[in-house]
Amino acid sequence: MSTPDRLIEATRELLWERGYVGTSPRAIQQRAEAGQGSMYHHFAGKPALALAAIRRTAEELRTAAEATLGGGGSAYDRLSAYLLREREVLRGCPVGRLTMDPDIIADDTLRAPVDETIGWLRGRLAGIVEEGQKRGEFAAGLDPEEIASTVLATVQGGYVLARAAGSPAAFDAGVRGLLALLAPDSPGSSAP
């Protein structure tokens, strides 16, 4: 792995573990096994390195989400695959956790890839709900944007509940509950 890649990967991990303030240049250098000169040769400073790390994290999340959402099967099957995919539940979402970091949220440049990724995911989920409506899987009266927001809220809220309980059981319960509500044979979700 190249020095810039090691620096970005180290920053990604530290942002996930410690947040922006807790991610010092020295900690990044130590984790990446890179010197101060290397860090500042490749990046203008901590904000530029953090932006590269956030962008890579966002890209990775999009790729993982698209791998399940873009798969075959019904709209319900794809939503189910997304909700049930393998996650490090007790670590939380690497992008979602950035929304709780006041330093990232206060910085328009650092927040932009987070906003874009969440917006992309909401749009992608809404599009799948619309496909399901056209195929008669979901009731025509459902609002795809609201269902997409509910899916995102279930995932992000599930992370919070699981971390608070120290167990992925709360995450799993939320996912099962949402899938039961969305199931084509549940009252109110399937088209008449």
Question: How far, in Å, are 23, 66, 112, 131, 182 from residue 137 at the CA level?
Answer: 46, 21, 34, 9, 9
Handedness of CA 92, 169, 156, 121 (dihedral sign): positive
What architecture is the 58-182 domain classified under in CATH?
Orthogonal Bundle (1.10)
pLDDT in tens, 76-102: 999 999 999 999 999 999 999 999 999
Contact, 75 vs 131, CB < 8 A?
Answer: yes
- Structure token digits, residue 28: 């990044």
pLDDT in tens, 105-137: 999 999 999 999 999 999 999 999 999 999 999
**Model pLDDT, residue 26:** 93
Nearest-angstrom CA–CA distance, 189 and 192: 9
- Structure token digits, residue 73: 């099967």
Residue 51's contacts (CB-CB under 8 Å, 6 or more residues apart) are 109, 110, 113
Contact, 81 vs 73, CB < 8 A?
Answer: yes
Question: How far, in Å, are 116, 147, 150, 151, 166 from residue 174 at the CA level?
Answer: 25, 14, 11, 10, 15
Global pTM reads 0.89
